[in-house]
Amino acid sequence: MNDLRQHFASLAVDGVRSIQPYAPGKPISELAREYGLNDIIKLASNENPLGPSPLAVAACQSELNDLEIYPDGNGFALKQALAEKLDVDIACITLGNGSNDILEFVARVFLSPGYNAVFSRHAFAVYPLVSMAVGATLNVASPNAADDLMPYGHNLENMRSLVDQQTRVIFIANPNNPTGTWLQSEELESFIKDLPDHVIIVLDEAYVEYVQEKQYPNSIPWIEKYPNLVITRTFSKVYGLAGLRIGYSISNPHIADLFNRVRQPFNTNSLAQAGAIAALSDHTHIQHSVESNSKGLLQVASEFDQMGLDYIPSVGNFISFKTALPGEQVYQSLLQQGIIIRPISNYDLPDFLRVTIGSEQHNDRFLQALKIMTGNKA
């Protein structure tokens, strides 16, 4: 066994050998199988507790009649709907099998051995994965200090100092997962303006719809001003369509053209395209989802305050926190009670755990279990 393992590892390309596989949130079915539980809640993958829009579900259902037909490889109708909504040219849009797919296009188009990608420590785990897979070097910037206003968040100065002649990509998550920290419009735009034009800036806005802060950027108009900017967004989070795998980018059309060369011909499926179009039109559902999340953030943060727990203020649909107990112990103990959250030692935050904002009832169940465990009175 071990011989074979070493044998194949020796055949693998350099970057792949040192990759740590992505550790997803534990699926409900897996916990049910392992522990024999049936009343399980999952607050581990930043999914929308309200689910998708019923319009999206209906649109997917009607696609079921035509499953023998290949999807539109160009995703025209969805791209058109997005172009209209965002007021950009349709040639600026690229669809992905999740926005994760787009992050891979970026790496395959712009990174290779000898070049580097810059991102912050504690940034989204997929940036190192896609960069290493193509043999690029990782330039990991020090984050903000723990007592900063944006603790553990991206530090643009530190990121800038790692940009050199070999830098091809810089990944910025705004807000970042798992820290929930964010960058203001002014500081981010002057950072982008200042970058040399051999650097592609990926601005990952997976949680954009949730953010309520006034200083949060409206980045779409930047596409015209900064041709090296790629904005990525997704239907997995507020739209509640994580299972469909559909995301997109907005970029200069010449960058979209390069993405189009490396993507699979049918990278987004017909259900996903139809579901996403319908989801875009359901403004009420999005509004409810955002309101529910804002309430939930307050609910969880104020309980954390009362319990005296240390947490990172978040503008997303999740909060990372720590207790006096080891993170792994808290995680395991909650699992035994049918509550799945996420340990984030793989994000270099070994003491912290990340919890997704769920329904009021699910948040409550999580908070009660945590209180008992950490010795706090309810």
* Gap between the Cα atoms of 60 and 218, Å rounded: 30
Is 311 near ligand PLP (CB under 6 A)?
no
Question: Tokens 């002014």 identify what position?
Answer: 186
Sign of CA pseudo-dihedral 115, 112, 247, 316: negative
Please, which residue, 245 or 362, has the CB nearer to ligand PLP? 245
Is 338 near ligand PLP (CB under 6 A)?
no
Report residue 359 as tokens. 């329904």
* Gap between the Cα atoms of 161 and 203, Å rounded: 18
Is 134 near ligand PLP (CB under 6 A)?
no
Interaction pattern, residues 84-103, with ligand PLP; x per rule: CB under 6 A = --------------xxx---
Is 130 near ligand PLP (CB under 6 A)?
no
Q: How far is the CB of 226 from ligand PLP (least distance, A)?
A: 20
Is 78 near ligand PLP (CB under 6 A)?
no
- DSSP letters, 290-325, are HHHHHHHHHHHHHHHHHHT-EEE--SSSEEEEE-SS
Please, which residue, 27 or 373, has the CB nearer to ligand PLP? 27
Please, which residue, 206 or 255, has the CB nearer to ligand PLP? 206
Please, which residue, 98 or 296, has the CB nearer to ligand PLP? 98
User: What are the angstrom distances between the C-alpha of 168 and each of 230, 256, 291, 340?
Assistant: 13, 16, 38, 37
Q: How far is the CB of 216 from ligand PLP (least distance, A)?
A: 15
Residue 234 dihedral angles phi and psi, to the nearest 5°: -145, 155
195 CB-side CA count, 13 A:
28
| Residue nearest ligand PLP, CB atom distance | 98
Report residue 97 as tokens. 């099998």
Let me know how long the chain is. Answer: 378
Of residues 340-369, those binding ligand PLP (CB under 6 A): none
Is 174 near ligand PLP (CB under 6 A)?
no
Is 289 near ligand PLP (CB under 6 A)?
no
Is 104 near ligand PLP (CB under 6 A)?
no
* Gap between the Cα atoms of 235 and 153, Å rounded: 24
First to last CA, the chain: 51
The enclosing H or E element of 101 equals helix 99-110
Q: How far is the CB of 188 from ligand PLP (least distance, A)?
A: 15
Reference 319, options 147, 213, 187, 175; nearest CA is 175
Name the residue type at position 161: S
Please, which residue, 94 or 100, has the CB nearer to ligand PLP? 100
Please, which residue, 204 or 351, has the CB nearer to ligand PLP? 204
Strands 200-204 and 167-173 turn out to be parallel
Q: C-alpha 345: how far from its chain's center?
A: 17
Of residues 186-245, those binding ligand PLP (CB under 6 A): 204, 206, 234, 236-237, 242
Q: How far is the CB of 119 from ligand PLP (least distance, A)?
A: 11
Q: How far is the CB of 247 from ligand PLP (least distance, A)?
A: 4
Q: How far is the CB of 98 from ligand PLP (least distance, A)?
A: 3
Please, which residue, 46 or 48, has the CB nearer to ligand PLP? 46
* Gap between the Cα atoms of 40 and 31, Å rounded: 8
Angle between helices 99-110 and 253-262 (to 10 degrees): 90
Please, which residue, 234 or 323, has the CB nearer to ligand PLP? 234
Please, which residue, 46 or 131, has the CB nearer to ligand PLP? 46
Q: How far is the CB of 312 from ligand PLP (least distance, A)?
A: 14
Which parts of this chain interact with ligand PLP (CB under 6 A)?
46, 98-100, 124, 173, 177, 204, 206, 234, 236-237, 242, 247
